Structure 1
């Protein structure tokens, strides 16, 4: 079967890992398990970016999302109080509806992909080093939006610290 290539197999494996991690994330009841499955989804998404030859985006995905955000969420969970007062009954109906919805979504996506016109409209000429190209674009043509985003994130960080201190004093 000439259609079955290594890239296609890797794509389906990463896609199944991403979907599985996302389903586990919404299915688990313990928050720590949710964060671990979310980190698993982020790592699998980084692998998918590597397949797309977007190494910089894959590196940022793994470094920022799988690393920093997941660790931040785990620290947030560890530093807050949790009680086991909320015992939930079996969610068989909820899980059945979720599975049915997933199958319906898979069917619609499969139908849309099979009927899509995937002929290339032009020639894609990616740079030899896409990290260098992103850096050049970011620091030449897009330097003002980049700096505005950094100022916005700094202001949001300072505001979060101010709100946390105000709540702590009360």
Structure 2
């Protein structure tokens, strides 16, 4: 029925997919916010691994640097700097859990059926490997797109200064 060759790339895909799904499920089921952020970081790292499998090294590097690093650290700092009050847990509702599980399985079945029926076109040009796409992105970023790049850096600096000013006013 399935004509699939077991390769390292296929194994890596399923390992990364398992990491991402586990992290997402843990993100929804854990109760401590710091643990939730750690599981979200695992999802981000798994996604970066998927980008490596797709030979998009620059996007994988940015994924690790920005999302797994900066966003996770920012969320942890935000959690640590805010006050938290104890929240009463809602009672477990097994009917909602069963309906959610049935809905998830139905969605999976529909997606599986749609993917199996879809005829994917063959690539028109052969994919060349070994190209340094990071170098090409860097050349474009510092030649053709240098003005937008600098404007974004100025915008982020102004936003950072504004956040410091707002935080200082609240502290006083």
Scaled by the length of structure 1, the TM-score of the pair is 0.84
**Alpha carbons 1:127, 1:133 under 8 Å: kept:** no
> Residues 38-67 of structure 1: CA distance to partner in whole angstroms, max 9, x if unpaired?
011011111111111222222221222112
Residues 59/3 of structure 1: CA separation in 2 closer, same or farther (3 Å cut): same
**Alpha carbons 1:26, 1:34 under 8 Å: kept:** yes
The aligned counterpart of 2:168 is: 165
Q: After alignment, is 38-47 or 1-10 more displaced?
A: 1-10
Q: What residue ranges of structure 1 are gaps of 5+ in the alignment? A: none
The aligned counterpart of 1:46 is: 48
Residues 99/155 of structure 1: CA separation in 2 closer, same or farther (3 Å cut): farther
Task: Please provide the CA RMSD for this pair.
Answer: 2.3
1:151 correspondence with 2:140: no
How many correspondences in the alignment? 169
Distance in 1, Cα, partners of 2:102 & 2:52: 31
Deviation at 1:3, TM superposition (A): 2.4
The aligned counterpart of 1:129 is: 132
The aligned counterpart of 2:15 is: 13
Q: Aligned runs of 1:1-170 on 2, under 5 Å?
A: 3-116=5-118, 117-125=120-128, 128-169=131-172
Q: What residue ranges of structure 2 are gaps of 5+ in the alignment? A: none
Distance in 2, Cα, partners of 1:83 & 1:148: 40
